[in-house]
C-alpha cells in the first residue's frame, strides 16, 4: 500500500511514527510544509521537514516536539553571551543539520536534494519531500503588524490576536519534484493532525497540489487536530478562527473540502459527526489522542482501517 502524507509540526511526527510501525517506511512519502522555514544566525532552518525527518529517524525530542533528543544548547548560550537576542533556540546537534543544509543550498542544491540526502544520512527510510523548492513563507497579521510565522509562534508565543494569514509567494511556487506524482500514485493520502491553516494550508496553496488532491484516485483520510472545540496542541484554534473556520471537526472538514473522503474524530466528538457528514465527509469515531507509542500505532492502524 503506497501512502502519501501531508505533514507539518508536532502532531504529524507522532502519527508518522505510528504509521511506520504499521507499514514499510519505503511505502511512505511525506510532503512536508516549508511555510515555517526561517533564517536563524544566517542558516536556513526548515522546522517541519526536520521534525518529520527526526521523528522517522528516531532522533526527535518527543517531549519538546521539535529538535533532537538529548540536545545541548551551548552554542545558543554562547550566541546569547555575544549579545544576540536568541528567541529561536537551535540545539547543538540540530545546528549541524542547519549548517549542512545551508552549505548544500549555497552550493546550488535544491531543498529537495538536501532533504533527500539529509534523511538518508540521518537514517530515515521514508521519502520526505518539501512541498516546493521555491520559497513560500507563512505570515500572520496581528492588530499591530505582519509577523513571520516563527516571530508569531515562538517569539510572541502565539499571544497576539490573529487578524489574517498569508502564504507569501505561494502563487509563484511549483510543487517539488515527485510531489504531484506522490499524490497521483498513492493508494491512500493521509492529512496528519497538523494545523490546517499554517501547516497544511501552505501545502495546499502551492499551485497544482490542491488540484492533484481533487483528482487523485487515492482515498484521502485526515485526523482531526481539533478535539472538543480546541486544538490538541499549538495555535490551530486562533488561526482557524482568523480564517472563519468553526473550531470543530466540521471546521477541519471544511478546510479540506471538497477533496477529503474521511475524517477521524475523537470519541468525545461523536455528537459532531452529523455536521461532518453533512459536508460529504465520512466521520470515523475513535481515540485520536496519541499519548504514547502504543497510542500512535493504534491511531495509525485505525486510520489504515478507515482507508480500506
223, 213 contact by CB (below 8 A) = no
CB of 263 to ligand FO1, least distance (A): 21
Q: Does 200 bind ligand FO1 (CB under 6 A)?
A: no
Q: Does 90 bind ligand FO1 (CB under 6 A)?
A: yes
- Tell me how far apart the alpha carbons of residues 115 and 135 are, in angstroms, rounded to a whole number: 15
Tell me the three state secondary structure of residue 192.
coil
- Tell me how far apart the alpha carbons of residues 152 and 49 are, in angstroms, rounded to a whole number: 19
- Tell me how far apart the alpha carbons of residues 224 and 36 are, in angstroms, rounded to a whole number: 21
Closest C-alpha to 154, from 227, 49, 64, 247: 64
Residues 129-188 that bind ligand FO1 (CB under 6 A): 150, 153-154
Q: Does 204 bind ligand FO1 (CB under 6 A)?
A: no
Choose the stretch contacting ligand FO1; rule: CB under 6 A; options: 89-97, 171-179, 203-211, 248-256: 89-97
- Tell me how far apart the alpha carbons of residues 36 and 85 are, in angstroms, rounded to a whole number: 20
Q: How many residues bind ligand FO1 (CB under 6 A)?
A: 18
Q: Does 119 bind ligand FO1 (CB under 6 A)?
A: no
Residue 100 has which C-alpha cell?
549542512
**Between residues 155 and 301, which has the closer beta carbon with respect to ligand FO1?**
155
Q: Does 88 bind ligand FO1 (CB under 6 A)?
A: yes
Q: Does 51 bind ligand FO1 (CB under 6 A)?
A: yes
Binding site for ligand FO1 (CB under 6 A): 8-9, 36, 45, 47-48, 50-51, 66-67, 88-90, 94, 150, 153-154, 199
Amino acid at each position: 500500500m503506497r501512502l502519501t502524507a501531508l505533514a507539518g509540526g508536532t502532531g504529524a511526527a507522532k502519527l508518522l511514527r505510528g504509521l511506520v510501525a504499521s507499514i514499510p517506511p519505503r511505502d511512505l512519502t511525506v510532503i512536508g510544509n516549508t511555510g515555517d522555514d526561517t533564517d536563524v544566525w544566517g542558516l536556513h532552518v526548515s522546522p517541519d521537514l526536520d521534525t518529520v525527518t527526526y521523528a522517522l529517524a528516531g532522533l526527535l525530542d518527543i517531549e519538546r516536539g521539535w529538535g533532537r533528543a538529548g540536545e545541548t544548547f551551548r552554542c545558543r548560550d554562547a550566541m546569547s553571551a555575544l549579545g544576540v537576542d536568541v528567541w529561536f533556540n537551535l540545539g547543538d546537534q540540530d545546528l549541524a543539520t542547519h549548517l549542512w543544509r545551508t552549505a548544500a543550498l549555497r552550493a546550488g542544491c535544491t531543498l529537495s536534494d538536501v532533504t533527500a540526502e539529509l534523511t538518508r544520512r540521518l537514517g530515515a527510510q521514508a521519502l520526505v519531500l518539501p512541498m516546493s523548492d521555491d520559497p513560500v513563507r507563512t505570515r500572520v497579521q496581528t492588530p499591530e503588524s505582519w509577523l513571520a510565522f516563527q516571530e508569531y509562534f515562538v517569539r510572541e508565543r502565539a499571544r497576539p490576536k490573529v487578524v489574517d494569514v498569508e502564504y507569501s509567494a505561494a502563487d509563484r511556487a511549483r510543487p517539488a519534484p515527485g510531489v504531484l506524482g506522490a499524490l497521483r500514485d498513492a493508494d491512500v493520502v493521509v492529512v496528519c493532525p497538523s494545523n490546517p491553516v499554517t501547516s497544511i494550508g501552505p501545502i495546499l496553496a502551492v499551485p497544482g497540489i490542491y488540484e492533484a488532491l481533487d483528482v487523485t484516485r487515492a482515498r484521502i483520510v485526515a485526523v482531526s487536530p481539533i478535539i472538543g472545540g480546541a486544538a490538541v496542541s499549538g495555535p490551530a484554534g486562533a488561526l482557524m478562527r482568523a480564517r472563519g473556520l468553526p473550531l470543530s471537526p466540521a471546521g477541519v472538514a471544511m478546510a479540506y473540502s471538497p477533496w477529503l473522503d474521511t475524517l477521524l474524530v475523537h470519541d468525545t466528538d461523536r455528537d459532531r459527526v452529523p455536521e461532518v457528514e453533512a459536508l460529504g465527509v465520512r466521520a470515523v469515531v475513535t481515540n485520536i489522542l496519541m499519548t504514547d507509542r502504543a497510542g500512535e500505532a493504534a491511531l495509525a492502524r485505525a486510520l489504515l482501517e478507515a482507508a480500506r
